Amino acid sequence: MRITAPILGAVLLVACTTAANPDATGMSAAAEDGKICKRMPVMGSNFPKTVCSTAEEWAVFEAQTRESVDAYDRDRKAGNTQGAFEN
């Protein structure tokens, strides 16, 4: 029983390392296409999702996110946050 736990731990460690390898998840193919891959949190899940997009697409996404946060902040300061996310 003393030997089983370390062996099981080593197997799990190797499995986690293999799963984290970019080649195993297909990220290297996206990098060849000039895409940037980021790990994005998923609401209701403990596992982030890998999203690959071009630099221009990331810039648009970040600008939209920034505008959304700024709009909510303006509404919050004005005291109008009811239904802020009902678009």
What are the pLDDT digits (tens) for 55-78?
999 999 999 999 999 999 998 898
Is residue 23 over pLDDT 60? no
C-alpha distances out from residue 50 to 20, 65, 73, Å: 12, 18, 28
Encoded tokens for 65: 């996110």
Cβ neighbours of residue 37 closer than 8 Å, sequence gap 6 or more: 27, 30, 31, 50, 51, 52
Residues 25-51, mean pLDDT to the nearest whole number? 85
Residues 13-21, mean pLDDT to the nearest whole number? 49
Residues 10-34, mean pLDDT to the nearest whole number? 57
Residues 76-82, mean pLDDT to the nearest whole number? 81
pTM: 0.54
For 19-33, 48-62, 72-86, which range has the lowest pLDDT when averaged over its residues?
A: 19-33
Rounded to the nearest integer, the mean pLDDT of the chain is: 76
Instruction: Give the DSSP H or E segment for 40.
Output: strand 36-40
